[in-house]
Amino acid sequence: MAFTANIKHLLFGTTLALAAMSSASAAEWKFAVEESPGDVQTLYAEEFKRLVEARTGGKTTVTVYTYGQLGNENDLTELTAGGAIQFSNASPGHLGTFVPEVQVLSLPFLLPESDEAKAKVLSSSPALYDALAKDFASKGLKLFTVYPEGEMVWTTKKAVRTPADLGDVKFRVMTSPILIEQFKLYGANPVALPWGEIYSGLQMNVIQAQVNPPFFIESAKFHEVTSHLIYPGDVEYTTTVVANADFWNSLSEQDKIMLQSVRNELQTFIIAKQKEKNAAALDKMKKDNPKITVIKLTDAEREVFRKRVEPLGAKLVEMVGGRTGDILKQLKADAAAAAK
């Protein structure tokens, strides 16, 4: 991952500061998230903190850092791999430049539709926790968990029901080559921007659309500068939690068992919490902006978009190479088995 001299200097300084903090207590863990206070990742991290501190009798403390406190999304992954942070969220759209194989999780129409089947795949798929975990390890990261944050929803400035409707739309996506390719296939003009620039980009008409889960759209107020919420039913937004590999390997077996127990409990917690957050966010957006139009694509409309992106899996394998094809094949098999 390339960084400018200024960013490298910032990260070096941050690393030293955090290292100094950790030296004060060997049982102080830092958990950085990509979102703001009250958002899904922050709720997960805060519950993680509560459970870990309770189960260690306070001997281990966890400090949660929200978006911007330690840098942007890419900075957090770099800091975690470097050992300055013990845990962080790393969403596939951003992590794809660091662990390219993880972009399989960004593929549309891949995961099962039912919540139960989706949760089973994300919490126990061998494609993720065996095959893909090896790619994380090669980058100095331990894949701790993967969890859903909600259906991806488009906010646009006009009605969208077909690929033709996206023909003149500059559509903000995360900095992932496969997401850029996906929205090209959908018919849009994808633009990669940091999320901190989305609101002003929509306001100034630099972009005309963006995609995120409802809770994040409401939290960032994107519904204030767009007129339509489009539910395409194509992608469940997922995030990974990663740990520094050396840190993980240094843990006692007792701590690892405790963390696996926390992980399993949090999977149930966060699925219920994100559904609650996303439903409340939609209600609030409709209340805040009574003129906003909500469109849920029909099965027939979804099928048109699905066919558009059929080549995307092969394109990802071509772009990334390595074991991506095997991981994708296994993930599809895991998804099919979970859906039965």
- Is pLDDT at 293 greater than 50 in this prediction? yes
pLDDT at 164 over 50: yes
Q: Determine what percent of the chain is predicted with pLDDT higher than 90.
A: 76
User: Which residues partner with 155 through β-bridges?
Assistant: 210, 229
Run of H or E residues at 148: strand 141-151
- Distance in angstroms (rounded) separating the CA atoms of residues 95 and 50: 27
pLDDT of 119 reads: 86
- CA atoms within 13 A of residue 42's CA, in its CB half-sphere: 15
Cα separation of 221 and 199, whole Å? 8
Residue 81 scores a pLDDT above 70:
yes
The pLDDT value given to residue 209: 98
Query: For the domain 5-149+237-278, what is the CATH superfamily, name and number?
Result: Bacterial extracellular solute-binding protein, family 7 (3.40.190.170)
The per-residue pLDDT for range 182-202, each reduced to its tens digit, is 999 999 999 999 888 999 999
Q: Helices marked H in the chain — which ranges? A: 5-23, 40-55, 73-81, 92-95, 115-124, 126, 133-137, 177-186, 198-203, 214-220, 245-250, 253-288, 299-308, 312-320, 324-339
Range with the poorest average pLDDT among 4-8, 39-43, 55-59, 220-224 = 4-8
Q: Looking at domain 153-235+290-339, does it have CATH number 3.10.450.50?
A: no
Buried b (16+ CB within 10 A) or exposed e, 2-23: eeeeebeeebeebbeebeeebe
Helix (H, G, I), strand (E, B) or coil at 70: coil
Q: Is the pLDDT of residue 311 over 80?
A: yes
Concatenated DSSP letters of 130-145: IIIHHHHHTTTEEEEE
d(CA 123, CA 330): 15
For 141, phi then psi, to 5°, come to -125, 145
- Whats the size of the chain, residue-wise? 340
Structure tokens at 189: 């003009």
pLDDT tens for residues 232-284? Answer: 999 999 999 999 999 999 999 999 999 999 999 999 899 999 999 999 999 99
Summarised one tens digit per residue, pLDDT across range 117-129 is 988 999 999 999 9
pLDDT of residue 73: 81
DSSP states of 81-129 as a string?
HTTS-SEEEE-HHHHTTTSGGGGGGG-TT-S-SSHHHHHHHHHH-HIII
* pLDDT of 174: 84
Q: What is the pLDDT of residues 111-156, one digit of tens each?
A: 998 888 988 999 999 999 998 999 999 999 999 999 999 999 999 9
**Amino acid 2: pLDDT:** 39
Residue 97 has pLDDT above 80, yes or no: no
Q: Where are the domains of the chain?
A: 5-149+237-278, 153-235+290-339
Measured CA to CA in angstroms, residue 277 lies from 113, 173, 222, 281, 285 at distances of 19, 22, 16, 6, 12
